[in-house]
Amino acid sequence: MKKNNTSNSLFQKELNSEIMKNENDTIYLNSWAFLNSDNTVIPHNFGDDINFSFLKELTGKQHKKYNKKDKKINYIFIGSILCDEYIDDFTKIWGSGFLYKHNLKNKPNKIYAVRGPKTRDYL
C-alpha cells in the first residue's frame, strides 16, 4: 500500500506552524493520561497515553498536562476527550472525538480536525 505523504506532511506543516508560534518550550496538552512527577506517562490506555509521545515526536517540545487554572493555549489530540471538563476558551482541537453525545457549554478556541464524521456533524 502506498503511503499518503501529502496529507501527513500537510498535517505536520499546519501543526508545526501552530505550535511553533508558541514561544514557550512547553506545550500544554489535554489528555486522560496519567503522569508521574517527572512528566512521564503512567501506562493506562494506549489512545490516551500516546498523546504525549506524539506531540514530543512532532514538535520536539516538552509537554505539561493542562489544568484549566493554567489559562494557556492547550491542545487536545487523540482520544474521546471532548467534554466540558477538558475544553475551555484556550483549547485547540487536533483530532479528538466524543465518547458519547454531549452538549458542550464550553467552546474551544479553534477546531483544526476531529476524529470522524459523527464528531464533525455534532460540532
- pLDDT above 60 for 4: no
Q: Which secondary-structure segment (H or E) carries 46?
A: helix 46-59
Its pTM stands at 0.79
Instruction: Report d(CA 75, CA 31) in Å as an integer.
Output: 9
Q: In the chain, what are the domain boundaries?
A: 5-122
Give yes or no for residue 5 having a pLDDT over 60: no
The confidence band for 3, taking pLDDT boundaries of 50, 70 and 90, is very low
Confidence bin at 39 (pLDDT 50/70/90): confident
Residue 90 has a pLDDT of 94
